[in-house]
Amino acid sequence: MCPDHAHLDCPSSNGVLMPAVNLRASLILHALEEAEAELIGKAVVLTDGKAGTVVAVSLDELHGLRISIAGHDGKWPVSTIKFVQN
């Protein structure tokens, strides 16, 4: 595992060294891609009763992951998902 210091270099998946801060940013973007793959196109119901299909997932520096739902204006924290269709 890479030390948690931005000035140290860490190996990437292709063996090239990258600064720890770049590695953390890469891991965040990878997690966002995984969340998009898991949520986009899924039917959801939010805790406030809004329901629909997830059309976008975004990263918000204040709230973390947020979702956009077809037919509703706005973005909601992913934590408000009450039900995801399997």
Q: What is the value of pTM for the model shown? A: 0.70
Strands (E), the chain: 9-11, 17-19, 43-46, 51-60, 64-69, 76-77, 81-84
Tell which residue, 69, 74, 78, 72, has the closest CA to residue 32: 78
Identify whether 17 is part of a domain.
yes
Mean pLDDT of 32-50: 93
Identify whether 22 is part of a domain.
yes
Domain span including residue 69:
9-84
Instruction: Output the domain CATH number for residue 60.
Output: 2.30.30
- What pLDDT score was predicted for residue 55? 96
Domain count for the chain, please give it: 1
Identify whether 2 is part of a domain.
no
Give pLDDT tens digits for 47-80: 999 999 999 999 888 878 999 999 999 999 998 8
Identify whether 3 is part of a domain.
no
Q: CA 79 to CA 53: how far, in whole Å?
A: 16
- What pLDDT score was predicted for residue 85? 66
Give the pLDDT band of residue 22 (cuts 50, 70, 90).
Answer: confident
